[in-house]
Amino acid sequence: MTESPKLSRRALLGGSAATLGALALGFGGGAAVSEARSDGVLWTSTRPFYGRHQTGLVSAPTAYARYITWDLRDSVTKADLVRMMKILTADAARLTQGVGPLADPEPELAVFPANLMMTVGFGRKFVQIGGGGGAIPAWLRPVPSYAMDRLEEPFTGGDVMVIVQSDDPVTVAHASRVVVRQWEPFVTLRSMQDGFRRAAGSTPDGHTMRNLMGQVDGTKTPRPGTDEFNRAVFGVGVDGAQTAWLQGGTGFVLRRIRMELEAWDQVDRPDREKTIGRKLDTGAPLTGGTENSEADFEARNVVGLPVIPDFSHMRRARPATADEVFFRRGYNYEVPHVSGVGGEAGLLFEAMAWNPVKQFVPVQNRLAELDLLNLYTTPVGSAVFALPPGCQEGGFLGDSLLLA
């Protein structure tokens, strides 16, 4: 009886890094795989796969994202983790360049990558099995529980995560199915969460996204490629920022935040702006200027009250020190009402920080204490992962941990 292509493929990928490199050469040469195409046509647009950092950390967000989390099966070994990551690396290296993976029964769905990116994150159990207790960063643990949280099991925790991003939802669906199908022997699916932004080309370059409350979302965040970003995300210039295997990687917090839109609908515009601390139309601070103007937190109105209220989200979220700066990014989500079943809408909030405990948690503590926005939002999911560095041709994602 002939062995199935899927089993043959897994056995092959269980081999050496040299074998993996040979696979890459088999579909057009290793150099071509990491070379981005930029002819201005969305369906042929690609992002590089290989590099110092995972592309999803340092590239502009796409219109669609899917966050997939799994729990490792009890029988999984370190050798299994190596096989998982070799499989993911080989698949992602091809898919992101518009080439169907080996044994893909639907390779035609891979030919339009539309800026496809695939980013992997490791939970505490994955790192424990893959590298031992000494490899676990001290911050790789759940975010503290807060009074406003209503966390739901599927959206909380997880041993391993893959983020699939593209400007085309069919590409996202196909790439997701490839990973889920190939990892099935090693994991059980915990959740899939779909997020969206404006479609590619529907807003001007540099336009800050808006969440489903109508607010500009992500104005004051470091920009990839800047010194501020490299320090906040990768710990560049911070002594002992990362354990050795995570150099070039970072910490990642994913919060699923439900928006209580029916309650928000009852709030008039002036009170909405006081809740946020910004003008809704321009995103400018209530003290004036444009979206990117510095806010004057000392400014007072005619009766002596702060123009930007103490309870405003903007005031509570601003970093108190340089160590509280992190990179934030969001995707909207919506679960429609179906046959009388209530729907849900909100924000899938990402925080990337070399140490979430030092950078993200203090800000979250202040928000929990006195942020009026808590009346209109409810965190229903929370997870923390370590995003490993990128890999070079002939290697695989996570090799810095799994081969150490």
Condensed to tens digits (0 to 9), the pLDDT of residues 196-222 reads 999 988 888 878 999 999 999 989 899
- Rounded CA separation 61/350 (Å): 12
pLDDT surpasses 70 at 81 = yes
pLDDT surpasses 50 at 35 = no
Condensed to tens digits (0 to 9), the pLDDT of residues 292-315 reads 999 999 999 999 999 999 999 999
The mean per-residue pLDDT over the stretch 15-42 comes to 42
Condensed to tens digits (0 to 9), the pLDDT of residues 45-70 reads 999 999 999 999 999 999 999 999 99
> Of the candidates 183, 122, 177, 99, which has an alpha carbon nearest to the alpha carbon of residue 400?
122
Structural contact between residues 366 and 327, judged by C-beta atoms closer than 8 angstroms: no
The mean per-residue pLDDT over the stretch 237-250 comes to 92
pLDDT surpasses 50 at 4 = no
What's the pLDDT score for residue 38? 47
Q: At what angle do helices 17-25 and 78-95 cross, to 10 degrees?
A: 20
At 379, list the tokens.
């965190």
Condensed to tens digits (0 to 9), the pLDDT of residues 97-156 reads 999 998 899 999 999 999 999 999 999 999 999 999 899 999 999 999 999 999 999 999
Cβ count near 52 (within 10 Å): 13
Q: How far is CA 138 from CA 50, 191, 392, in A?
A: 28, 25, 27
Grouping H, G, I as helix, E, B as strand and the rest as coil, residue 99 is coil
What's the pLDDT score for residue 22? 35
Contacting residues for 69 by C-beta, under 8 A, at least 6 apart? 157, 158, 159, 160, 161, 189, 190, 191, 383
What's the pLDDT score for residue 403? 96
Residue 1's pLDDT band, with cuts at 50, 70 and 90, is very low
Grouping H, G, I as helix, E, B as strand and the rest as coil, residue 28 is coil
What's the pLDDT score for residue 341? 67
- Rounded CA separation 285/307 (Å): 9
Condensed to tens digits (0 to 9), the pLDDT of residues 316-355 reads 999 999 999 999 999 999 998 777 667 899 999 999 999 9
What's the sign of the alpha-carbon dihedral 314, 316, 321, 327?
Answer: negative
Residue 31's pLDDT band, with cuts at 50, 70 and 90, is very low
E-strand ranges in 208-322 read 250-259
62: left (phi over 0), alpha (psi -120 to 50) or beta: beta
Can you give the pTM of this predicted structure? Answer: 0.89
Q: How far apart are the first and last CA of the chain?
A: 39
The mean per-residue pLDDT over the stretch 14-20 comes to 40
What's the pLDDT score for residue 203? 84
- Rounded CA separation 350/74 (Å): 29
With a pLDDT cut of 90, the percent of the chain lying above it is 81
Average pLDDT, the chain: 90
Q: Which residue has the tokens 């979206």?
A: 291
> Of the candidates 53, 395, 50, which has an alpha carbon nearest to the alpha carbon of residue 252?
53
Query: Residue 11 class from Cβ within 10 Å (0-12 exposed, 13-18 middle, 19+ buried)?
Result: exposed
pLDDT surpasses 80 at 34 = no
Q: Which residue has the tokens 């910004």?
A: 278
The mean per-residue pLDDT over the stretch 185-191 comes to 98
At 298, list the tokens.
């000392």
pLDDT surpasses 50 at 24 = no
The domain locations on the chain are 1-202+209-240+249-404
What's the pLDDT score for residue 239? 87
Residue 32's pLDDT band, with cuts at 50, 70 and 90, is very low
Structural contact between residues 155 and 385, judged by C-beta atoms closer than 8 angstroms: no
pLDDT surpasses 50 at 28 = no
pLDDT surpasses 60 at 373 = yes
Q: Which of 1-15, 227-241, 334-348 has the lowest mean pLDDT?
A: 1-15
Residue 275's pLDDT band, with cuts at 50, 70 and 90, is very high
- Rounded CA separation 245/85 (Å): 15
What's the pLDDT score for residue 25? 33
Q: Dump the DSSP string for 239-288.
A: TT-S-GGGTT-EEEEEEEEEE-HHHHTTS-HHHHHHHHTB-TTT--BTTS
